[in-house]
Amino acid sequence: MKTFLPTPTHPLPHSDQVQSLVSFLEHEPQPMIVLDPNYNILAANTAYQRQFGSADKPFIGHKCYQISHHYDVPCDQAGENCPMKKAQEMRGPDRVLHIHHTPRGPEHVDVELRPILDEHGVITAYVERLTLVRSASARPSNEGLVGRSPAFNLALSELQRVAPSMLPVLLLGESGTGKELFARAVHENSDRATGPFVVVDCSGLPETLFESELFGHEKGAFTGATTRKPGLVETAQGGTLFLDEIGDVPLAMQVKLLRLIESGTYRRVGSVETLHANFRLIAATHKPLEKMMENGEFRQDLYYRISAFPIQLPPLRNRVEDIGLLANSFLQRAGTGKRRLTIETEALTQLQRHSWPGNIRELRNVLERASLFADDGVIRSTHLPQASVAIPPQPPASTPFDGSSLAQTLATFKGTRSELARHMGISERTLYRRLKEQGLA
């Protein structure tokens, strides 16, 4: 355990109490550090040193935001949520998802901070637990979720919260936003990660086959049923059942699906035997289920059963910062075992200007097509389809970046700064910088 010895410039608050805490944390398997109220790192356990430490970059005695973010000011002053500020205000724990600089590069880290109070109720120190988020990458990756934009991080943070529970999850978002990848990440971060992950494509099943595919059937249950067949619910025993495009489930089947979720029981087609289901439910749709309820196209009781924890997945046009990261990930995957593919700066700029109605799926298709023309391994603007290089019309002169209109937006918007940034289509850091430039911060 590395500790910071008290000096006149960095006095250690209640050193005996903190030292006892430090000794306790050494036995914790998770990376943990002790901070004073001025953001100084006082101590770190072995797990932290192993995952986040670097021999050539000392961290004891340095500010946490300098080590983790390379900032000159605390996180909240740089446009991010600061757990210490929140913990100080609430006098209790706070948890956030951050991207930290680590020896391996930028990584998503789940940060939980708890204040330590003395007998007078004064905060003398903080204990910070850091958990690497392995279900997503902040660098180009060969597989899984990739992103680091504020909109992506918000969805990832919600995923981290719900994954360990058994709550049903409803993934909402446009087609091509990565709903199946998010569903798989929920499964892999749950207690059922070693069980099966079973996908039911609700839009690809005709009503006549839906019940048989979901619940299975007995031999002779209908013409062509020559053997007993287990259904997808049975296949998902002990794991996760992912109902993709649940908005396409026929009304007649919605009743039976509701019964399955409510009672945890079902019967194969052609059988009277009641079977017990054991699965974690994740559903996804690009359709407006609430509007469908109003029109009588989706059952209200089913909706409230599946939507215990909704997660809104952002469209790619709200993740402009991630386009380069995603593009390099796709090119890295496409170049596995073959030539290495890269993309020139001008081509990447063109991709960032496109609105991407087909979202990530469209971006992947565009890059796969362009790679066929990149004879020297470099994708250029001329290799991109004309539709994806078209520059959208510029916004009018009066934009939220003007001092007067930004002040007006700030005065009338009722949400948080984070929500305001998303409303304006920019990152929190950009919003903070604009507010500071206009003297509104």
Is pLDDT at 8 greater than 80 in this prediction?
no
pLDDT tens string 92-119: 999 999 999 999 999 999 999 999 988 8
Percent of the chain at pLDDT exceeding 70:
83
Give mean pLDDT, residues 53-62.
85
Q: Which of 302-311, 343-352, 365-374, 393-402 has the lowest mean pLDDT?
A: 393-402
Q: Which of 207-221, 228-242, 279-293, 414-428 has the lowest mean pLDDT?
A: 414-428
Is pLDDT at 5 greater than 60 in this prediction?
no
Is pLDDT at 405 greater than 60 in this prediction?
no
In order of 216, 231, 270, 273, 319, the CA distances from 227 in angstroms are 11, 13, 12, 17, 49
Q: What is the pLDDT of residue 406?
A: 64
Q: What is the pLDDT of residue 27?
A: 84
The three-state secondary structure class of 194 is coil
Q: Tokens representing 320?
A: 């402009």
Phi-psi region of 386 (alpha: psi -120 to 50; beta: other; left: phi over 0): alpha
Angle of helix 417-424 versus helix 428-437 axis, rounded to 10: 100
Q: Which of 13-17, 326-330, 381-385 has the lowest mean pLDDT?
A: 13-17
Nearest Cα residue to 246 out of 208, 282, 283:
283
Is pLDDT at 370 greater than 70 in this prediction?
yes
Is pLDDT at 412 greater than 80 in this prediction?
no
Q: How far is CA 298 from the centre of its chain?
A: 28
Is pLDDT at 42 greater than 50 in this prediction?
yes
Give mean pLDDT, residues 226-237.
90
pLDDT tens string 125-171: 999 999 999 999 999 998 899 999 999 999 999 999 999 999 999 99
Q: What is the pLDDT of residue 409?
A: 62
Q: What is the pLDDT of residue 387?
A: 58
In order of 27, 47, 62, 400, the CA distances from 126 in angstroms are 18, 17, 15, 38
Q: What is the pLDDT of residue 6?
A: 42
Q: Which DSSP category does 355 fall into?
A: -
Q: Which of 195-204, 235-244, 423-432 has the lowest mean pLDDT?
A: 423-432
Band of the pLDDT at 333, cuts 50, 70, 90? confident
Highest mean pLDDT of the ranges 168-172, 341-345, 395-399, 403-407: 168-172
Give mean pLDDT, residues 306-321.
96
Band of the pLDDT at 419, cuts 50, 70, 90? low
Nearest Cα residue to 266 out of 255, 277, 258:
277
Within 8 A by CB and 6+ apart from 175, the residues are 286, 358, 359, 361
Q: What is the pLDDT of residue 20?
A: 72
Q: What is the pLDDT of residue 144?
A: 92
Band of the pLDDT at 12, cuts 50, 70, 90? very low
**415-424, long-range: CB < 8 A, 24+ apart:** 417/79, 418/81, 418/150, 418/154, 421/79, 421/150, 422/150, 422/151, 422/154, 422/318, 424/400
Give mean pLDDT, residues 394-401.
40
Band of the pLDDT at 174, cuts 50, 70, 90? very high
Is pLDDT at 179 greater than 60 in this prediction?
yes
Q: Produce one character per residue of 90-101: b if its CB has 16 or more CB atoms within 10 Å, e if not.
A: eeeebbbbbbbb
Is pLDDT at 385 greater than 80 in this prediction?
yes
Residue of 339 and 180 predicted with greater confidence: 180
Q: Are strands 309-312 and 169-172 parallel, antiparallel or unpaired?
A: parallel
Q: Which of 52-56, 172-176, 217-221, 415-419 has the lowest mean pLDDT?
A: 415-419
Band of the pLDDT at 14, cuts 50, 70, 90? low
Mean pLDDT of the chain: 86
Neighbours of 209 (CB within 10 A): 11
Q: Which of 133-137, 240-244, 269-273, 402-406 has the lowest mean pLDDT?
A: 402-406
pLDDT tens string 60-100: 999 999 999 999 999 988 888 899 998 999 899 999 999 99
For residues 276 and 234, the answer to whether their CB atoms sit within 8 Å is: no
- What is the Cα–Cα distance from 387 to 354, expressed in whole angstroms? 8
Q: Which of 33-47, 220-234, 265-279 has the lowest mean pLDDT?
A: 220-234
Q: What is the pLDDT of residue 209?
A: 85
